[in-house]
Amino acid sequence: MHIQSISATIPRETLASFLREARFPEGIALTDFVLGEGAIVLVLKIASYFGIPVRVKLELDSFHGSRIIFKATPPIRFPTEGIFDLAPHHEPEAVSRSKYTLAEMDLLKLSKGLIRSATISRLSITKRGFSLEARDIQADPHKILAAFQNLSPNHK
């Protein structure tokens, strides 16, 4: 199935629900988040930091194809199981000398097979939520139909 273009707004409340359901690695828990102009700040409790809340700022850097690139400050080093892929660092001092880590979020991975390809044409983050426009979307028609059926109030 080909969709020429689509525009979506993800309000803060929906984003909060998504983040609450997201799986973080063992020893890491999301306690809060704040949206700002072009950035999201995650407040994480990290067991290796003795459970002290750590504020990680994800600043929108760029987007290419279906991927969104963020600058994560302070530099962090942990996998986030499908939400963000962090740029690999091969030497321990690479993180301590760097001002940020690049974190990548791919819409294709997040869609879990629903979307096969897409090109982001506009993306903005504000205090109210995310706004996204994408074009040239290739999607699996069977999975889209199943998703719409699950949204239907008559579906059991």
Structure confidence at residue 147 (pLDDT) = 76
By three-state DSSP, how is residue 115 classified?
strand
Could you give phi then psi for residue 66, rounded to 5 degrees?
-100, 5
Judged against a pLDDT cut of 90, whether residue 99 lies above it is answered with: no
Question: Residue 89 belongs to what domain range?
Answer: 2-151
Report residue 28's pLDDT band, with 50, 70 and 90 as the boundaries: confident
Q: Is residue 70 part of a domain?
A: yes
Q: Is residue 133 part of a domain?
A: yes
CA–CA–CA angle 125, 127, 133 (5° rounding): 30
Q: Is residue 156 part of a domain?
A: no
Q: What is the mean pLDDT of residues 90-105?
A: 64
Q: Is residue 112 part of a domain?
A: yes
- Beta-carbon count within 10 A of 144 CB: 14
CB-CB contact of 101 with 107 (8 Å)? no
| Closest listed residue to residue 84, CA positions, set 97, 72, 94 | 72
Total number of domains in the chain: 1
Both tokens of 150, joined, read: 């699950």
Q: Is residue 19 part of a domain?
A: yes
Q: Is residue 50 part of a domain?
A: yes
Both tokens of 58, joined, read: 């994800």
Judged against a pLDDT cut of 60, whether residue 37 lies above it is answered with: yes
Q: Is residue 37 part of a domain?
A: yes
**What span, in angstroms and rounded, lies between the C-alpha atoms of 29 and 49?**
12
